[in-house]
Amino acid sequence: MTTTYEPNKVLSNKEFKVVGTRPVRPDGADKVTGRAQYGADLQLTGLLYGKTLRSPHAHANIKSIDFKKALALEGVKAVVSAKDFPETKDTANYGLGDSPMNYFRGNILADKKVLYKGQAIAAVAASSVHVAEAALSLIDVKYEVLDAVLTAPEGMAKDAPILHDDLFTKEFEKQTKVNSNIAEHFQHKMGDIDEGFAGADVIVERTFDTATVHQGYIEPHNVTALWNDDDRIHVWTSTQGAFTVRAAVSEALAVPVSKIKVTPMEIGGGFGGKINVYEDPAAALLSKKAGHKPVKMVMTRAEVFEGTGPTPGSHMTVKMGATNEGKIVAAQANLAMEAGAYPGSPVGAGAMCVFTAYDIANVTIDGYDVVVNKPKTAAYRAPGAPNAAFAAEQVIDEIAEKLNIDPLELRLQNAAKEGTRRADGPIHPRIGCVEVLEAMKEHHHYQSPLTPAKNGGKVGRGVGIGFWFNIGMQSACNISVNNDGTVNLVEGSTDIGGSRASIAMHAAEVLGISYEDVKPQVADTDSVGYTAITGGSRTTFATGWAAYEAANDVKAQLIDRAATIWGVDPDSVEMEEGVLRSKTDTELNMSFKDLSAQLNDTGGPIVGRGAVDPSGIGGSFCGQIVDVEVDPETGKTDILRFTVVQDAGKAIHPSYVEGQMQGGSVQGIGWALNEEYYYSEDGRMNNPTFLDYRMPTSLDLPMIDTVIVEVANPGHPYGVRGVGEANIVSPQAAVANAIKSAVGARMEKMPMNPAAIMEQLWS
């Protein structure tokens, strides 16, 4: 059979009018003309500029801080430190679970002890950025420097320096009295692991280490805060969750949320890294101390690398066993991930995803959350899962090799389906694992011979598949009808990748009006109902659903209004494709446009509301096929061809779904090949610049082909599965498998940079 190759396929099985089309985003014109207002673009009258003093040490006790000289500098208006936090309760919760208040505040402004280089200690407000910077150098801090631990194994070692004297290991969900750097050790168990391995004909066990990496959004964190004379606080910031910022500022400063308004500015990338809150509370404190003047703080790139959440380095052992026929019968994982300075690594999520693509009877997964002297980790696109997949997907590759089975065939043979139980408990609902693997197998790329080398190196192909469970959480949306037959849609999810469009498309579809007739806007926390973070691949799923509900509410009210005007029973009226009509009397019909013009004279405006906290979340599977060329003399790897296949459930806006797949995959490529926090022995990051933290450039990549698979999620009105994250889970493993196929080096360390590949080839 010959097939002509078409890139960027959408395997659609259900068509809608607006959903599934590719309109231009509503904020587009602002974003191509430089008019869009990002946080750092904000100018306010009387604006002051803040800068943060950060620890030069990875681990030290703060003996004293002296602000005298800094305060004497002309132009300095205020300084703040942890001493400025008011007395409050012992735990903080800003929407993502409880954490001890001293840990939460410690990551905003350290008190008594610093736990990583770059940790904030104090902040200054001044008349200009240059004056604020000069003031920082005049703050005199005395430290007692302590030994640092930089990796999970170091942190778990018996004689390791202890970061927190109040951290006691939680073991199998029970609090112990052991003071250590292991915040938690948990285990998921299913079947009998020993019996499983006993029945295996082939067993592969390998240990993997991965480096700390950063989300790498191009826009540095920024905030402007005004603590007004009436004690109301207004925060303008770049965030993935305005309500999260509101709660965090409230918890840190012991100010009720009703006194805080957060305006989310346009956000220049986040990938999970702009969920945590950093300088916002300090900016508010500075504003208050400077006499209720607005204070703007914008991080430098080095501050972003050293002071904000990366995703963890990890140390992992994965062992899998299979029969000669290719049935995987046992799988065991030992995952230790760095939490950074405070507990909370994504090892839990890693454990949820490590073997989730497969139906395996006997599984044991141990997870360790380990504090180390690095920045507190933050979410980064499917946090924890890429580390785990780097290990598991290489072990599976090796099993396929040993059994001489095609690697996709082996995966298909063992693929999870509806009804398969995950080791961490849940049973898979309808999922698209098999469909994704089949689409990969049938793809032109997989059916084609290896891409020829460009520079005389060795070529190889690798595959991988990853899973992310996705989240639901709360979203709110209001829709008001304009008298020209359009609607205004107000929602609370900050738009990082075109979600205004996909959310508006939900409403247009329900109302039967064109996409252009829905005007979406992202509102501040005073203007819309509580909306959780833009994260967890939830925005199109949950906020889109809120828009769907709000539009249905509008629709019901329109039907009522038409019935009132016509003097008929509302049950006899329907609205389809933007037209209201009586089900019984064909004379009675009216377009939405005509009705909207009459609203004010027939009972007043119509406003619909949608507020959701959905269950029925659909997890997403995503796989990659990659051809690489490796220079056997230098270890340099080039990506020659790359295909990503993901189950989107239903792609509301296919271009933006493809964008997520391409962007996530390329972050995975960067992670695989070159990105890492390169530490000195005493815990300083040596490469906090875009020069030496090497993210892929346009010249490092080919086109990233995509296939959108649509296995509708029965839990969403249009079948949506979030697509923001699953795409970053397995590119690293796919690249590793391709390198193995090209030059025979099985890479147990990430990044797989040239030096690491040469080392492996030389060993």
Partner 1 sequence: MPATKVHVTTTINGEPVEFLAEPRQSLLEVLRDVVQLTGSKEGCNDGNCGACTVNMDGRIVDSCLVLGVEAEGADIQTVEGIASADGLHPIQQAFLENAALQCGICTPGFLVSSKALLEKEPNPSEERIRMWLAGNLCRCTGYDKIVKAVMAAAKEMAS
Partner 2 sequence: MNSIDYIRPTTVDEAVSLLAKYKEKARVLAGGTDLIVQMRGGRYQLDAVIDGKHIEELNQLTYSKENGLVIGAAVPCHKIYGDENIASAYPGIMDSATLIGGIQIQGRASLGGNLMNAAPSADAIPALIAHNAVANIVGANGTRSVPVEDICSGPGRTTLDTGEILVSISVPAPSKGFGARYIRFIPRNEMDIAVAGAGVSVQLKNGKIEAARVALSSVAPTPLFVENAGNSLVGKEPSDENIQAAANLAKEAATPITDMRGTVEFRKHLCEVLTRRALHTAVERAREEN
Q: Which of positions 587-606 make contact with partner 2 (CB under 8 A)?
A: none
666, interface contact from partner 2, partner 1, none, CB < 5-8 Å by kind: partner 1
Helix (H) or strand (E) holding 528: none
Residue 638's binding partner out of partner 2, partner 1, none, with CB under 5 to 8 Å set by partner kind: partner 2
Tokens representing residue 270 in the block: 């986040």
State the binding partner of 667 from partner 2, partner 1, none, CB within 5 to 8 A by kind. partner 1
Asked if 758 touches partner 2 (CB under 8 A), the answer is yes
Taking CB within 5 to 8 Å according to partner kind, which of partner 2, partner 1, none is near residue 36?
partner 1
3-state SS class at 294:
coil
Considering CB distances under 5 to 8 angstroms, the limit depending on partner class, which of partner 1, partner 2, none binds residue 218?
A: partner 1
Question: Total residues at the site for partner 2 (CB under 8 A)?
Answer: 24
Whole-number Å distance between alpha carbons of 564 and 562: 5
Q: Tell me, rounded to whole angstroms, the distance of Cα 712 from its chain centroid.
A: 22
Helix (H, G, I), strand (E, B) or coil at 446: helix
- Partner that binds at residue 673, options partner 1, partner 2, none, CB closer than 5 to 8 Å by kind: partner 2
686 near partner 2, rule: CB under 8 A: yes
Peptide bond into 696 cis (omega under 30): no
Are the CB atoms for 650 and 720 separated by under 8 Å? yes
**Distance (Å, rounded) from C-alpha 313 to C-alpha 300?**
23
The encoded tokens of residue 638 equal 């080039």
Residue 208: C-alpha distances to residues 356, 362, 527, 626, 746 (Å) = 19, 22, 48, 21, 11
- Taking every pair of Cα atoms in the chain, the longest distance, rounded to a whole number of angstroms, is 86
Q: Is 292 near partner 2 (CB under 8 A)? A: no
Instruction: State yes or no: residue 458 binds partner 2 (CB under 8 A).
Output: no
Question: Does 130 help bind partner 2 (rule: CB under 8 A)?
Answer: yes
CB nearer to partner 2: pick between 306 and 366: 306
Residue 427 binds partner 2, judged by CB under 8 A:
no
* Minimum distance from residue 500 beta carbon to partner 1 (Å): 12
Q: Are 307 and 374 in contact (CB under 8 A)?
A: no
One-letter identity of residue 725: E
Looking at 2-10, 80-88, 640-648, 748-756, which segment touches partner 2 (CB under 8 A)? 748-756
The yes or no reply on residue 697 touching partner 2 (CB under 8 A) is: yes
Query: Which one of partner 1, partner 2, none is in contact with 424 (Cβ closer than 5 to 8 A by kind)?
Result: none
Nearer to partner 2, 682 or 759 (CB): 759
Nearer to partner 2, 321 or 635 (CB): 635
Residue 267's binding partner among partner 1, partner 2, none (Cβ under 5 to 8 angstroms by kind) is: partner 1
CB of 690 to partner 1, least distance (A): 4
CB of 754 to partner 2, least distance (A): 6
Q: How far is the CB of 340 from partner 2 (least distance, A)?
A: 20
Separation CA 730–CA 737 (nearest Å): 10
Q: Give me the least distance between CB of 179 and partner 2, in Å please.
A: 34
Q: Please report, as ranges, the residues that interact with partner 1 according to CB under 8 A.
A: 22, 24-25, 27-29, 31-38, 40-41, 43, 130, 215-220, 266-271, 298, 300-301, 496-498, 655-656, 658-659, 662-663, 665-667, 689-691, 695-699, 701, 703-704
**Which among partner 2, partner 1, none contacts residue 143 (Cβ within 5 to 8 A by kind)?**
none
Residue 633 beta carbon to partner 2: minimum distance, rounded to whole angstroms: 5
CB of 731 to partner 2, least distance (A): 17
Closest separation between CB of residue 669 and partner 2, Å? 11
754 belongs to the binding site for partner 2 (CB under 8 A)? yes
Per partner kind, with CB cut-offs from 5 to 8 A, the member of partner 2, partner 1, none near residue 659 is: partner 1
Residue environment code for 459-485, b if the CB has 16+ CB neighbours within 10 A, otherwise e: bbbbbbbbbbbbbbbbbbbbbbbeeeb
Q: What is the DSSP string of 662-681?
A: HHHHHHHHHHHHT----B-T
> Which of 678, 682, 684, 746 lies at the binding interface for partner 2 (CB under 8 A)?
678
Nearer to partner 2, 258 or 634 (CB): 634
Calpha distance 78→502 (Å, rounded)? 44
Amino acid sitting at position 300: T
Q: How far is the CB of 632 from partner 2 (least distance, A)?
A: 10
Residues 417, 559: Cα–Cα separation, whole Å? 42
Helix (H/G/I), strand (E/B), else coil: 561: helix
- The entry of partner 1, partner 2, none that residue 43 binds, CB within 5 to 8 Å by partner kind: partner 1
Q: Least distance (Å) from partner 1 to the CB of residue 267?
A: 6
Q: Which residue in the set 636, 682, 684, 746 belongs to the binding site for partner 2 (CB under 8 A)?
A: 636
Q: Kindly state whether residue 691 participates in binding partner 2, applying the rule CB under 8 A.
A: yes
Site membership for partner 2, residue 75 (CB under 8 A): no
Q: Does 696 bind partner 2 (CB under 8 A)?
A: yes
User: Minimal distance in Å, beta carbon 23 to partner 1?
Assistant: 10
Closer residue to partner 1, CB minimum distance, 487 or 496: 496
Q: Exposed/middle/buried for 450, CB within 10 Å: 0-12, 13-18, 19+? A: middle
CB of 220 or CB of 350, closer to partner 1: 220
What span, in angstroms and rounded, lies between the C-alpha atoms of 622 and 619? 10
Of the candidate residues 122, 124, 132, 134, the single one contacting partner 2 (CB under 8 A): 134
Note whether 700 binds partner 2 by CB under 8 A. yes
Distance CA 506, CA 719 (A): 12
H/E/C letters for each residue in 4-72? Answer: CCCCCEEECCCCCCCCCCCCCCCCHHHHHHCCCCEHHHCCCCCCEEEEEEECCCCCEEEEEEECHHHHH
Q: Which is nearer to partner 1, 285 or 728 (CB)?
A: 728
Per rule CB under 8 A, is residue 687 in the interface with partner 2?
A: yes
Which of 475, 643, 631 is closest to 548 using CA atoms?
Answer: 475
Nearer of residues 217 and 227 to partner 2, judged by Cβ: 217
Residue 178 contacts which entry, partner 2, partner 1, none (Cβ below 5-8 A, type-dependent): none
Q: How far is the CB of 641 from partner 1 (least distance, A)?
A: 13
Token output for 241: 């969750």
With CB under 5 to 8 Å by kind, the binding choice for 678 among partner 1, partner 2, none is partner 2
Nearer to partner 2, 24 or 755 (CB): 755
- For the CB of residue 533, give the shortest distance to partner 1 in the complex, in Å: 15
- For residues 501 and 426, what is the distance between their CA atoms, to the nearest angstrom? 33
The DSSP 8-state label assigned to residue 257 in this structure reads G
The CB-of-660 to partner 1 minimum distance in angstroms stands at 8
CB atoms within 10 A of CB 6: 8
Quick check: 575 and 591 in contact, CB under 8 A?
Answer: no
The separation between CA 558 and the C-alpha centre of its own chain, rounded to angstroms, equals 38
Q: Which does 307 bind (CB under 5 to 8 A by kind): partner 2, partner 1, none?
A: none
Cα gap 181→158, rounded to integer Å: 10
SS (H, E, C) 367-425: EEEEECCCCCCCCCCCCCHHHHHHHHHHHHHHHHHHHCCCHHHHHHHCECCCCCECCCC
316 closest CA partner among 260, 385, 362: 385
Closer residue to partner 1 (CB): 303 or 397: 303
Residue 638 binds to partner 2 (criterion: CB under 8 A):
yes
Residue 100 CB contacts under 8 Å (≥ 6 apart), including other chains = 90, 91, 92, 166
Which residues sit at the interface with partner 2, rule CB under 8 A? 130, 134, 633-636, 638, 673-674, 678, 686-687, 691-692, 694, 696-697, 699-700, 753-755, 758-759
